[in-house]
Structure 1
Amino acid sequence: MLHRLKLGVLLHWLILFLLSPAYEASSLGLTVHVVPLEENGGKTVRAHFTVITPSPCPDLLAVCAAGKDCQAHRTALPFSYTKPSPAWCVRQWQKTVPSNYNSFLKLGFQTEFYVSINADPKIRANNGKLNRPPFVALPPPLRARVNCPVDFHISTKDLDGDKVRCRFASASSGECRECIPHNFLELDEASCTLTFTGKAAAGQYFIYLMAEDLIPAPPTRQILNNSPLSSVPVHLSLTVEESASDCSHSPLVLDGTPERDSVQFVLPFQEVKFNANYKSDLESVLEIAVVGPPDLYRVGFASISSLAKLTMAWIRSENNLTQLLPVCFVANTKSFQSQLRCVWLYQREMRTLPDGTELRCNQTEMSLLLPVTSLTNVDLDKLQLNSPTCPVTHNSTHLTAHIPLGGCGTKAVHSGTELVYTNTLKSVHHTMISRRPSLILPLACRIPGAEVKGPQYAISMPTERETFGEIIVWLEFHLPGQGPLAPLTSSPRFRSNFLSSSRFRRETGSESSTSNSSTQTGLQHDEMVKQLDLYVMSNCSVDRAEMIVTDCMESEKEDMADSHPLVEKGCMMSNNTLEIITEEKTFKIYRLDMNTRTVTGTKMYFECKINLCIATMPSDKCPDLCSNSSSSSMLVNSVFTSTYSIRSGPVSLMVADFMNRNTTATNPPTNNTPGPTVAQPATTPGSTSPASQIPNVTSTNTNTASQAPEVATSRITGVILMTIAMFLQITILQ
């Protein structure tokens, strides 16, 4: 009887578990940006959902079916990343819902979650307008390690200037289901900072928060019963991983990365661009994971040794997105995650200029006619275009400007299928603070995609093949003073770039002793090789291209088990390996002292990882990974290939095998290249996809008059919008 009772209780709980909301299938992250709709007094809102789900990315049919008041954001540039495992992606949509909204939502077969929004309409006493709920930036899935405390700052903004606080969601208030707070998490409600104490077992945990806006009060005054004006949900996930090392090796943010919670203002058809730069000494950065608005470009990711960078850009086209758009990003290595950082894009509000304003577009220029009566108190002599050298004239009635499409700072950007030429007429103040009204006047000529002629419309970053050619990389091995570069290796000069660590000190006189014996005269056929030259070769002939060898290792086993590093992060690991200085930049030669190696057999295997690099400016240079002077700017100002991994076949250590060869020229190996000492070209890209596979938004900044398309004037549309604001007006985002 007791056995049956236990079985019945177990079956009862199993049924409840199967029929209850899938707690373990919660989203990996969720935010909802809520915009009250004026037409019905805020009784309904436009809810902008951003949800992180496990890969593969599910469709949106269950939450945003066709024909309903909903818009799914499908982008050619999906947010999809690998850390933490399994891989994950971002889905975004917007939907009109009641201001007080509670619902279960399901994405695909893996993700089901509960959403609670409390945005009942409230008229603000200070301006008589509807209150606007707070905005919360959604970070990529959070990572931490056992016994390693870490803080996660959740970035928030409020368009009304209200104070934003975060708190744990309450199941008793209907804000979540089965959402008991974890005892290893602490929350500073005022700063929205989540602290992981480190006292948790490895695993994945889900966190449910509510963000609220409160009327701000001076420090000397307390508002009684200062209840929140609205509440919006924030779901986070935290993956705790086993700690393989101490807690101090997370990637560090470098200069040139936007400050935390910074704001970048965006005009219509304007492009904003910024870099994320990191340094990771222990492990290379695998990815820079980003969560941002639809059609955010992420280009030029490079992870070379300890440095990593990614360029992000967004072009403001006509859209119905929210006025505030967050971009959050982190650097992930195999075991670590960098500090979370978020940037906000602020779409400036614009109003149409009064009657009488004209912007005409033709094949070569746009012309502006603007009634000066609309520019009350604006100093007309302080107005200029993107280029101050282009004239702006005015009389008592009108302001006029003739703006070439290929000059005066005019830029070309893409907005959907259209090509848009943009410029800006703006006030220029020569003092830091001015209380005079400022004019910001975006100007745009839009050309339908069907009418765009010539290559300037399909602007994209050249592919790796177009930039560097058809790349082949391989390894060669020769005795000093022999092989294709015998004159160079018989009397070599050595580069001093050892890893700057006390355990890799060079011994005094090591260079001279190596070079003095480099010719290895009098060798017998039955002897073991005393010194060996390792050639890391490429067939790249592009001017200014350079080879960067990040890592090389040696092993007596074909699978590279029990391997020993020769080069690590671009530095020689001991004085037993020296780099020979050459005038050529697309290959490297290393002198290996075999006398100092404990080798049990007569063969060894080698593997190297390399990138080819071109500095974007002739005055720049590719980074020297072993130099303390290398900085993130060198990485940002360079173009890289994918990472190539080259592994040799068995390399004989017997002198006889080298003396019987007669190599006089260095050519790319073919599939039938004989001999065990020449590696086959294993040009397998690393985990990083080349940036050339993503359209390059930076190349649209340069335009000439000859690039103006040959289209009829009547088919080109002029767009002109204006904002007049005091310099000190926008304070809510400071």
Structure 2
Amino acid sequence: MLHRLKLGVLLQWLILFLLSPAYEASSLGLTVHVVPLEEYGGKTVRAHFSVITPSPCPDLLAVCAAGEDCQAHRTALPFSYTKPSPAWCVRQWQKTVPSNYNTFLKLGFKTEFYVSIKADPKIRANNGKLNRPPFVALPPPLRASVNCPADFHISTKDLDGDNVRCRFARADTGECRDCFPHNFLELDEASCTLTFTGKAAAGQYFIYLMAEDLIPSPPTRQILYNSPLSSVPVHLSLTVEESASGCGSNPLVLDGTPDRDSVQFVLPFQEGKFNANYKSDLESVLEIAVVGPPDLYRVGFVSISNLAKLTMAWIRSANNLTQLLPVCFVANTKSFQSGLRCVWLYQREMRTLPDGTELRCNQTEMSLLLPVTSLTNVNLDELQLNSPTCPVTHNSTHLTAHIPLGGCGTKAVHSGTELVYTNTLKSVHHTVISRRPSLILPLACRIPGAQVKGSQFAVNFPTERETFGEVMVWLEFHLPGQGPRARLTSSPRFRSNVLSPRFRRDTGSESSTSNSSTQTGVQPEETVKTLDLYVLSNCSIDRAEMIVTECRESEMENLTDSRPIMEKGCMTSNNTLEIITEQNTFKIYRLDINSFSVSGTKMYIECKVNLCIATMPSGTCPDLCSNSSRSTSTLIDSVFTSTYSIRSGPVSLLVADFMDRNATDPPPSNAPSTPGPNPSQTATMPGRTPPASQVPSVTTNTNTNTNTTASQAPEVATSRIAGVILMTIAMFLQMTILQ
């Protein structure tokens, strides 16, 4: 009996094992930033690990054992993205280890990897200090397409000014395990550029490199063998995907994005902030994937038509991170990935304040008292605060400044739970070239979180509600010359139409114009020939503009068989025209129903909408069909709402249903359109029953990714059913064994 029971339990465990995720013995990416510890003569280093793992993200419980000098970076802002599928995330920690370190590390149940560090202490002849190994930026998982060559530049920096080279890791020297070169990859060691030739089957491949620092040699002197000072590991992953769209359709970076390998210096409590801007003509950008330091903020992601933008910011607070902090990012579409770009944040070293310096903080200002004897050879008349209008005075003994917390360029940032007011006293030379010493002195007043009142915002980026208010958007349908904007639609002025490039490519139609598109006198015939589509909002901000990126029509309520009316902000045919309005917060489109090939007497329409405000008073929001908006970064100086997906109820095409309607009906009083947990909501027009044409279903997607996931439901159900069936078989076999 006991024997049968053991067999049954064993069988259940076997089936659970078969149903569990497959084990993967590699990371999707890894770098280690190595900092030698002076107090141990460099024989011990602090290793800062960054590892990309498949989702679900594993915990960090196993990386730090009791009694170790180890810290896991748990952040409220995790790096987690979807491409390549299924998904991935970043885990970071730091640990004190020997300078010559080889070990296996494990994260969760899916990721195990081998790490080899060679950073034995070496005293540099040029400065007598310990050598510092190179820094390598960790990129997001790399993607490429079959038969499409691609270059991947791996960004590196060296604090000692050494040359950095990258080479493939070697198993015979203990640098990697079970690693072998791929014949479809080439590596330029000097520039750390990896080239994919395109000659690989679809699949996921792992790449193991070593980054080394070498003392630079003068151009006139050739060193036959320049031995590396240290070697650190770099693990990468490349996912090769099938593509039906050919090559050359990768998202392109736009102006306003930092240059590749650029450096931003960050003072204590200063905020480093920059944008990533892209355009992608073939497919919309699904995400801008980022790998960066802990607590790097990523806010304001917008993907509208062929344009996308993301703002990133990092606030330097008290930390024990490395002096150089890389931020790498790419734009991912469904099938393509942009070129890799990395930016480096440099935590500038600061000297301690000289004796006798006083910085006092009160509720309204901070006051500075600085002995001038500490400012050797510094021109005191060239010193100023963030704002040059605020006075900085000095006499023979001291420099003084009274700095209001609400002026003089003082900025407020959040460091953890503290509110920090910052300003900078710095030299501003009046000549272009100056060899005189310069002063940069950061000033900060820290207010504990218990004393901070009011709303808390970690980055100076306004929320959607603060900018646009409680947004409501909805659809209405009226006959030409009727409805709340009858004055505009009875004698309309039409905007010059721009057809979608995809529509022109597929059909070759350029000049098909419907005669019914200009009809304003409608007779009570059986079916509607021309109908006006209103896309409305309640936004009352003067400079706000509505952008309609997509509209589709279908005879099916779920729009499974739909046809585009508008794509990427452009009309797909001349059978739809936009009526010029006096306000920018709503749109009206004249639809030629005859061209829709609707066989019944009703249809459904879904549109995707954003509201936009140009940040500059003289600026405008992007015109998605304008050639200029496709060639320059028109998203940089604009703020957008989330993307609202608005689906109508059944739109009647019988003229009789429209004849008795009030031409001045108010907007729906309960049309929900603000972001919320409910993914689909409906609203009815007050005081009317037929036709059922104003029953919108509003779906808000705060990530602006409006792809549905219904097609995945059968797969999920199938796996669950399989699990139930296998478990049922296990229980049946167990009962059979026990009998």
What TM-score does the superposition give when structure 1 sets the normalisation length? 0.86
Superposed displacement of residue 256, structure 1: 0.4
Q: Specify the alignment match of 2:30 in structure 1.
A: 30
Question: Number of matched residues?
Answer: 665
Letter paired with 1:683: V
Deviations 1:365-407 (A, max 9, x none): 2222222222222222221111112222223332222222222
| Counterpart in the other structure of 1:588 | 587
Report what 1:551 is aligned to. 550
SS in structure 1 at match of 2:699: coil
Shift of residue 181 of structure 1?
1.1
Give the 3 Å change call, closer, same or farther, for CA 662–415 of structure 1 in structure 2. closer
**1:652 maps to what in 2?**
652
What are the equivalent positions in structure 2 for 1:661-680 lying under 5 Å apart?
A: 661-668=661-668, 671=683, 673=685, 674-680=689-695
Amino acid at match of 1:493: R
CA gap of 1:179–1:431, structure 2 versus 1, over 3 A, is: farther
Find out whether 1:429 has 2:432 as its counterpart: no
Task: Give yes or no for the alignment of 1:573 onto 2:572.
Answer: yes
Aligned match of 2:725: none
Q: Hey, what does 1:614 align to over in structure 2?
A: 613
Deviations along 1:598-618, one digit per CA (max 9) or x if unpaired, are 443333322211112233344
Alignment of 1:191-210 (within 5 A): 191-210=191-210
2:61 is aligned to: 61
Post-superposition Cα deviations, 1:118-177, rounded to whole Å, max 9, x if no partner, equal 000011111111000000000011111111100000000000000000001111111111
Question: Which amino acid counterpart does residue 135 of structure 2 have in structure 1?
Answer: F
Secondary structure (helix, strand or coil) at the match of 2:450 reads: helix
Contact 1:422 1:442 in 2 (8 A): yes
Letter in 2 for 1:650: P
Unaligned runs of 5+ in 2: 1-17, 672-681, 706-739
SS of residue in 2 equivalent to 1:172 = helix
Preserved contact between residue 684 and residue 695 of structure 2 (Cα < 8 Å): no
Q: How far 1:434 sits from its partner (Å)? A: 2.1
CA contact (8 A) 2:146 2:242 kept: yes
Q: 1:721 aligns to what?
A: none
SS in 1 for 2:48: strand
Structure-2 residue corresponding to 1:732 = none
Give, as a single letter, the amino acid of the residue that structure 2 aligns with 1:686. N
Conserved? CA contact 1:480–1:518, under 8 Å: yes
Q: CA deviation at 1:689?
A: 6.8
Amino acid at match of 1:58: P
Give the secondary structure class of the aligned counterpart of 1:313: strand
Partner of 1:406: 406
> Cα distance, 1:259 vs. partner?
0.2
Q: Deviations over 1:224-250 (max 9, x none)?
A: 331110000001111111011121111
Question: How far apart are residue 217 of structure 1 and its match?
Answer: 0.6
| Corresponding position: 1:76 with 2:80 | no
| CA distance, structure 2, for counterparts of residue 484 and residue 408 of structure 1 | 50
Change over 3 Å in CA distance of 1:389–1:475 after alignment to 2: closer
Give the corresponding residue for 2:492: 492
The alignment status of 1:119 with 2:119, answered yes or no, reads yes
Q: Which stretch shifts more, 464-473 or 570-579?
A: 464-473
Give, in whole Å, the separation in 2 of the partners of 1:457 and 1:30: 32
Inter-CA distance 68–496: structure 2 relative to 1 (3 Å threshold): same
CA distance in 2, matches of 1:347, 1:414: 17
Per-residue deviation, 1:671: 4.2
Task: Tell me, yes or no, if the aligned pair for 2:516 and 2:529 is still in contact at 8 Å.
Answer: no
Distance 1:202 1:75 in 2: 34
Deviates further, 360-369 or 27-36:
360-369
Deviation track 1:82-102 (CA, whole Å, cap 9, x = no partner) reads 111111111111000000001
Alpha-carbon distance in 2 for matches of 1:120, 1:577: 71
Is the CA contact (8 Å cut-off) linking 1:291 and 1:327 kept in structure 2?
yes
**1:688 maps to which residue?**
703
Work out which of the residue numbers 503, 511, 519 in structure 2 matches 1:517. 519
1:420 alignment partner in structure 2? 420
Partner amino acid for 1:507? S
Cα offsets for 1:52-89 (capped at 9, x unmatched): 11112111111124542101111111111111111111
| SS in structure 1 at match of 2:698 | coil
Deviates most, 488-497 or 641-650: 641-650
Structure 2 equivalent of residue 290 of structure 1: 290
Coordinate RMSD, CA, aligned? 2.4
Matches within 5 A, 1:158-557: 158-455=158-455, 463-499=463-499, 501=501, 507=511, 510=513, 513=515, 516-520=518-522, 522-524=523-525, 526=526, 528-557=527-556
Quick check: 1:137–1:342 contact (8 Å CA) kept in 2? yes
The worse-fitting range, judged by mean Cα deviation, of 493-502 and 159-168 is 493-502
> Distance between the aligned counterparts of 1:449 and 1:689, measured in 2?
33
Structure 2 length normalisation: TM-score?
0.86
- Name the CA distance, whole Å, in 2 between partners of 1:464 and 1:442: 32
Say if 1:476 and 1:677, in contact at 8 Å, map to a contact too: no
Aligned partner of 2:133 in structure 1 is 133
Conserved 8 A contact 1:261-1:341: yes
Aligned partner of residue 684 in structure 1, secondary structure: strand
Deviates more, 1:299-308 or 1:645-654: 645-654
- Equivalent residue, structure 2, for 1:148: 148
Conserved? CA contact 2:658–2:691, under 8 Å: no
Q: Is the 8 A contact 2:524 2:656 kept in 1?
A: no
Whether contact under 8 Å (2:497, 2:574) holds in the other structure is no
Distance in 1 (alpha carbons) for counterparts of 2:433 and 2:178: 53
Shift of 1:215: 0.6
- Percent of aligned pairs with the same amino acid: 83
Provide the C-alpha distance between the structure 2 equivalents of 1:515 and 1:683, rounded to a whole number of angstroms.
Answer: 28
Per-residue CA deviation, residues 324-363 of structure 1 (Å, 9 max, x unaligned), is 0000000111111101000001111111133222222223
Secondary structure, aligned partner of 1:429: coil
Quote the Cα distance in structure 2 between the aligned partners of 1:222 and 1:194. Answer: 26
| Letter matched to residue 641 of structure 2 | T
